[in-house]
């Protein structure tokens, strides 16, 4: 295995891809412009929270198969295969910003010597491979040859290493037989294990990524709308989702209701596909509906809190969970961040706790107060809102929490807790399509009546003492 592989971009995708390729036995050089990041990686420090990655980076660095550099030119000159794994963020209008990708393509071109396979790993709109090809063609030295392969990634944050090493499928798009043969060699261990290995055109490979992510978003928005319908009709979303998922044609994954999908991929990719379609003169209606439902879900979370508590000025809200999903420290496009901002804008005071994502969230929202335990967040709170499905939130001491709170109200947007148990403990509890909001409003009215009675009793007791004294 003498082929050296360069990975341009040591972010989330590049780092996981490079490390896992090294684990498969390849010599890998990860390149990034961020000198600080490269220094940390050279010292064995991982800039992201990803299960299993630290051990793999250490093992492969020590074995001499994995190295990190800021020197793009030198690495490219030594590599037969160069992966492009740079960020492709969302532009202002929903389009994908390809600046970093184009810049990297130029850098490859300037350093092209022998035949090189350029593999686009970043998520890019259909036909982007053509722009990469044109740039390299324009800037490369004469008489040098290259091919472009489109090889999208399907790595979920939190399980990216597992997803890379045990994939459902590998998609390799390209036209050149030579490049396709080299890619088959790189992925030979998967082919031997009979992992689904699909070769297609570049366009198809690029579009598969968007089609897959958008379909996942469709499932989530669908189940979230179903949760609303369950609430209106008194049905139970968990039972409904389970029954739906048992149909093999539907499958159980991505049918968990929540406050809407977030992260750096699904929201961006849905918008990008809508944008690409509009550029081709097509109105991608399902995509637009999914995006609209997702944004609506976050809004309705805040509206329910407002409906229950009245004006939010000076209300204390405990917000449990800031990451866009469990097992990650990422808060990009996190529904929790949107909800926290909205609550703060409405005048509420928000105490937040997350096991992994507090540093980033506090930097993003200076007005947000992050505390170091869920109990501290719940102290004197008027309402707890669970935004991220961290398992540990299901196992908190809710008896203790009940005593700590000013008003014992829980809004469980992830259906993490046992409603019966919570109601038994005396909470006003509502969630996402299991315990209807109307029941919580009714419970709240009873509670208010109870408070009023207790208050009146205190008043009449005082009056009684006054009479006795007189
Ligand atoms: C997603 C895809 O799942 C990966 O296959 C893809 O490679 C990746 O994007 C990417 O394009 O790089 P990721 O962003 O890590 O992965 O997150 P997901 O696990 O897909 O979750 C996305 C959002 O949907 C989260 O906010 C999560 O809480 C929410 N979700 C997920 C639900 O609300 N319900 C579900 O049933 C599943």
Q: Name the residue of 261, 262, 297 to mutate for ligand 1: max ligand atoms within 8 A of Cβ.
A: 261
Does the active-site annotation cover 378? no
Angstrom distance (rounded) from CA 306 to CA 302 = 6
The mean pLDDT value for 300-307 works out to: 95
The mean pLDDT value for 441-464 works out to: 65
The mean pLDDT value for 429-437 works out to: 92
Q: What is the pLDDT of residue 458?
A: 58
Say yes or no to pLDDT of 461 above 60: no
**Residues 207-249 pLDDT 10s:** 999 999 999 999 999 999 999 999 999 999 999 999 999 999 9
Which pLDDT band, with edges at 50, 70 and 90, does 463 fall under? Answer: very low
Q: What is the pLDDT of residue 304?
A: 95
pTM here?
0.93
Say yes or no to pLDDT of 384 above 70: yes
Tell me how long the chain is: 470
Better-scored residue on pLDDT, 437 or 183: 183
**Residues 275-286 pLDDT 10s:** 999 999 999 999
Better-scored residue on pLDDT, 4 or 451: 4
**Residues 79-123 pLDDT 10s:** 999 999 999 999 988 899 999 999 999 999 999 999 999 999 999
Q: Are 411 and 259 in contact (CB under 8 A)?
A: no
The mean pLDDT value for 265-294 works out to: 97
The mean pLDDT value for 356-382 works out to: 94
Angstrom distance (rounded) from CA 225 to CA 222 = 5
**Residue 144 Cα distances to 72, 113, 131, 175, 449, angstroms:** 18, 6, 18, 18, 81
**Residues 177-214 pLDDT 10s:** 999 999 999 999 999 999 999 999 999 999 999 999 99
Ligand 1 in reach of 216 Cβ (< 6 A): yes
Per-chain mean pLDDT for the chain: 94
Say yes or no to pLDDT of 451 above 70: no
Q: What is the pLDDT of residue 92?
A: 86
Edge-to-edge, what's the strand order for the sheet holding 169-173? 66-69, 27-31, 4-8, 81-84, 116-120, 146-150, 169-173, 196-200
**Residue 35 Cα distances to 15, 39, 41, 57, 278, angstroms:** 15, 6, 10, 18, 39
Say yes or no to pLDDT of 58 above 70: yes
- Degrees, nearest 5: CA angle 104-107-113: 130
Residue in 20, 30, 72, 265 annotated catalytic: 265
Q: What is the largest CA-CA distance in the chain?
A: 109
**Residues 44-54 pLDDT 10s:** 999 888 889 99
Atom of ligand 1 nearest to the CA of 213: 2
Say yes or no to pLDDT of 470 above 60: no
- Nearest-CA neighbor of 127 among 62, 65, 57, 206? 206
User: Which of these ranges, 60-64, 207-211, 462-466, has the smallest mean pLDDT?
Assistant: 462-466
Which pLDDT band, with edges at 50, 70 and 90, does 444 fall under? Answer: confident
Q: What is the pLDDT of residue 468?
A: 40
**Residues 311-363 pLDDT 10s:** 999 999 999 999 999 999 999 999 999 999 999 999 999 999 999 999 989 88
Q: Are 294 and 258 in contact (CB under 8 A)?
A: no
Distance (Å) from CA 266 to ligand 1 centroid: 6
Which pLDDT band, with edges at 50, 70 and 90, does 1 fall under? Answer: very low
The mean pLDDT value for 429-441 works out to: 90
Ligand 1 in reach of 220 Cβ (< 6 A): yes
Ligand 1 in reach of 254 Cβ (< 6 A): yes
Angstrom distance (rounded) from CA 158 to CA 138 = 39
Edge-to-edge, what's the strand order for the sheet holding 316-320? 369-370, 349-353, 316-320, 383-386, 409-412, 428-430
The mean pLDDT value for 24-52 works out to: 94
Ligand 1 in reach of 124 Cβ (< 6 A): no
| Residue 297 CA from chain centroid, whole number | 16
Closest Cα to atom 37 of ligand 1: 254
Please give the helix or strand (H or E) that residue 134 lies within, else none: helix 128-139
Angstrom distance (rounded) from CA 353 to CA 367 = 14
Angstrom distance (rounded) from CA 144 to CA 133 = 13
**Residue 262 Cα distances to 217, 252, 294, 334, angstroms:** 10, 20, 9, 5
Which pLDDT band, with edges at 50, 70 and 90, does 2 fall under? Answer: low
Which pLDDT band, with edges at 50, 70 and 90, does 437 fall under? Answer: confident
């Amino acid at each position: 295995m003498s082929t050296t592989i360069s990975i341009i971009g040591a972010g989330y995708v590049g780092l996981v891809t490079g490390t896992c390729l090294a684990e498969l036995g390849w010599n890998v050089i990860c390149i990034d412009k961020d000198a600080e990041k490269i220094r940390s990686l050279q010292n064995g420090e991982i800039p992201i929270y990803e299960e299993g990655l630290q051990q793999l980076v250490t093992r492969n660095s020590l074995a001499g198969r994995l190295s990190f550099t800021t020197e793009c030119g030198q690495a490219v000159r030594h590599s037969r295969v160069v992966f492009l794994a740079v960020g492709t963020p969302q532009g202002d209008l929903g389009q994908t910003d390809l600046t970093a990708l184009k810049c990297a393509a130029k850098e490859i071109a300037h350093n092209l010597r022998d035949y090189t396979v350029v593999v686009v790993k970043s998520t890019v709109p259909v036909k982007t491979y053509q722009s990469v090809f044109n740039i390299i063609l324009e800037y490369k030295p004469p008489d040098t040859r290259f091919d472009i392969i489109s090889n999208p990634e399907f790595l979920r944050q939190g399980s990216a290493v597992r997803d890379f090493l045990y994939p459902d499928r590998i998609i390799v798009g390209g036209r050149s037989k030579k490049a396709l043969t080299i890619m088959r060699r790189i992925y030979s261990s998967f082919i031997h294990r009979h992992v689904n290995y699909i070769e297609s055109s570049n366009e198809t490979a690029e579009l598969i990524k968007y089609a897959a992510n958008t379909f996942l978003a469709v499932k989530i928005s669908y189940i979230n709308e179903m949760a609303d319908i369950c609430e209106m009709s008194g049905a139970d979303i968990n039972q409904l989702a389970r029954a739906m998922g048992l149909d093999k044609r539907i499958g159980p994954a991505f049918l968990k209701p929540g406050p809407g999908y977030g992260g750096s991929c699904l929201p961006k990719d849905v918008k990008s596909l809508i944008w690409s379609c509009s550029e081709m003169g097509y109105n991608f209606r399902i995509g637009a509906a999914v995006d609209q439902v997702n944004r609506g879900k976050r809004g309705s979370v805040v509206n329910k809190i407002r409906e229950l508590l009245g004006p939010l000025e000076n209300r204390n809200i405990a917000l449990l969970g800031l990451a866009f999903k469990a097992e990650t420290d990422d808060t990009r496009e996190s529904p929790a961040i949107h909800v926290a901002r909205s609550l703060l804008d409405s005048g509420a005071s928000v105490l937040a706790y997350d096991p992994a994502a507090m540093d980033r969230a506090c930097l993003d929202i200076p007005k947000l107060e992050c505390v170091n335990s869920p109990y501290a967040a719940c102290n004197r709170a008027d309402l707890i809102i669970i935004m991220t499905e961290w398992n540990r939130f299901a196992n908190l001491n809710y008896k203790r929490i009940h005593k700590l709170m000013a008003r014992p109200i829980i809004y469980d947007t992830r259906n993490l807790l046992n409603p019966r148990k919570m109601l038994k403990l005396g909470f006003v509890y509502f969630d996402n399509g299991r315990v209807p909001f109307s029941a919580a409003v009714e419970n709240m009215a009873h509670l208010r009546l109870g408070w009023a009675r207790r208050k009146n009793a205190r008043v009449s007791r005082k009056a009684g003492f006054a009479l006795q004294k007189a």
